[in-house]
Amino acid sequence: MKSRLLRWLVCPQCFGDLTLFAAQSGRSSLDADDHEILERVAPIGSSEEIEVEIMSGALGCQACGVYYPIHNGIPRMLTYSSEVAEVHARGNAAWLSEHLGNYKLPSGSPPPGEENVLRNFSTEWTGYKWTGDGYWNVSTENALNCKRYELGLGKHSLRDKLVLEVGIGIGGTADMLSRKERCEIVGIDLGYAVDQAQHYFGKNPLLHIVQASIFAPPFRPNTFDVVYTHGVLHHTFSTSAAFRSVAPLAKEKNGMLYVWLYSHEHEKVTTLRRLLMSIEGLVRPVLSRLPKAGQTAALLPTLPFYILYQNLHVRRKYGAANTAKYGWNEALHAARDRLTPPFAHRHTYEEVAEWFESAEYAHLEMLRDEQPPDSVPESYRQNVGIRGFRREAAASDK
């Protein structure tokens, strides 16, 4: 965890300030270009802020009497007990009793089904060997084009902005966006994908990685210039409740929020797809409850279909340079993503637009109205992708 993150990180239970207790930290220096970007996003207070990285320690909230572990360089901000918090407590017992004797681990209750969401997505990401060649079905270079299209970067620059990605997964797009668009990004994710993200991209000084849930974000309202989330909110017990939890995080008076969610329309684009989606609806609730080995065994027979569909159909349609080649590793990752999440809700543009309006967002922009570059798969706009800009909250909400 970079010290600078403490500017924005707060207790997810009470929004109070956190005290940093560092057990193990290191120092690294910043090149002039990155220094300039950070300075423009938020003026740098001291060299400590940008040079010191905490590898192990804790963040204490005095008001709640709880501490959040920093483990493997990542602040773990879950408000209920978790495997990583227990591992950290066992490995640092003497240090914790010396420095945080009066603090306890958080012991709240998770939102419905969230522990199983955490387990399944953690399996999906930690078992995936990222090669650097692509993200999902697109090549790495084209993944950046896709994000530029989604976020409307032709009209809304990210330059010098503070950005939050909700559900970063392995963190590759946040890494690219921060470097290419010259912004500072905080990425949260519920699961142990954050450890993969830290492994691959932890050295990027423009990127902060945090383990936290959408339902208890460790940030105050009105913090970020831009908040975006792709393929995440529909994997929670309630997409609309997840939306209401992230909507206040963008700044009033023009903070941008972008969400991308599965749609009903995309489910029905072809008869084959309709059939596959019906099968998915039956199989997913069963697979999501199985242990990892059982899931893997059940998914293995589907992998040749993923590989053939991607390598023969998708690559021909969008061009080899724009798409990723699937082997077993990529196919298993895609199959897990489709068939093991406990929740995968579908929505309409109209429904999600109403959520934006109820959360005081205006000037909505919809991907279905925007022609993408040829390299961007059609599924981007066949699903629901909406950007909105936050108004000033009504006095009654303050």
Ligand X SMILES: C[S@@+](CC[C@H](N)C(=O)[O-])C[C@H]1O[C@@H](n2cnc3c(N)ncnc32)[C@H](O)[C@@H]1O
Q: Which is nearer to Zn ion, 77 or 143 (CB)?
A: 77
Give residue 333's region: left, alpha or beta (phi > 0; psi -120 to 50).
alpha
Is residue 100 a contact point for Zn ion (CB under 5 A)?
Answer: no
The span of 63-71, 210-218, 262-270, 286-294 binding ligand X (CB under 6 A) equals 210-218
Contacted by 175, from Zn ion, ligand X, none: CB < 5 to 8 Å by type? none
- Minimum Å gap between C-beta 59 and Zn ion is 10
Q: Which is nearer to Zn ion, 18 or 166 (CB)?
A: 18
Is residue 338 a contact point for ligand X (CB under 6 A)?
Answer: no
Contacted by 88, from ligand X, Zn ion, none: CB < 5 to 8 Å by type? none
Contacted by 11, from ligand X, Zn ion, none: CB < 5 to 8 Å by type? Zn ion
The span of 45-53, 154-162, 207-215, 268-276 binding ligand X (CB under 6 A) equals 207-215
In the region spanning residues 180 to 199, those forming contacts with ligand X, defined by CB under 6 A, are: 188-191, 193
Is residue 164 a contact point for ligand X (CB under 6 A)?
Answer: no
Q: Which is nearer to ligand X, 221 or 231 (CB)?
A: 231
Contacted by 121, from ligand X, Zn ion, none: CB < 5 to 8 Å by type? ligand X
- Minimum Å gap between C-beta 5 and Zn ion is 17
- Minimum Å gap between C-beta 108 and Zn ion is 11
- Minimum Å gap between C-beta 174 and ligand X is 9
Q: Which is nearer to ligand X, 84 or 232 (CB)?
A: 232
In the region spanning residues 29 to 88, those forming contacts with Zn ion, defined by CB under 5 A, are: 61, 63-64
Is residue 214 a contact point for ligand X (CB under 6 A)?
Answer: yes
Is residue 163 a contact point for ligand X (CB under 6 A)?
Answer: no
Residue by residue, what is the 3-state secondary structure of the chain? CEHHHHHCCCCCCCCCCCEEEEEEEEECCCCHHHHHHHHHHCCCCCHHHHHEEEEEEEEEECCCCEEEEEECCEEECCCCCCHHHHHHHHHCHHHHHHHCCCCECCCCCCCCCHHHHHHHHHHHHHCCCCCCCEECCEEHHHHHHHHHHHHCCCCCCCCCCEEEEECCCCCHHHHHHHHHHCCEEEEEECCCHHHHHHHHHCCCCCEEEEECCCCCCCCCCCCECEEEEECCHHHCCCHHHHHHHHHHHECCCCCEEEEEECEHHHHCCCHHHHHHHHHHHHHHHHHCCCCHHHHHHHHHHHHHHHHHHHHHHHHHHHCHHHECCCCHHHHHHHHHHHHCCCCCCCECHHHHHHHHHHCCEEEEEEHHHCCCCCCCCCHHHHCEEEEEEECCCCHHHC
Contacted by 190, from Zn ion, ligand X, none: CB < 5 to 8 Å by type? ligand X
* Site size toward Zn ion, by CB under 5 A: 7
In the region spanning residues 327 to 386, those forming contacts with Zn ion, defined by CB under 5 A, are: none
Which token pair is 187? 């990425």
In the region spanning residues 16 to 75, those forming contacts with ligand X, defined by CB under 6 A, are: none
Single out the residue of 108, 113, 231, 372 in contact with ligand X (rule: CB under 6 A). 231
Chain positions contacting ligand X, by CB under 6 A: 114, 117, 121, 125, 167, 169, 188-191, 193, 213-215, 230-232, 235-236, 337
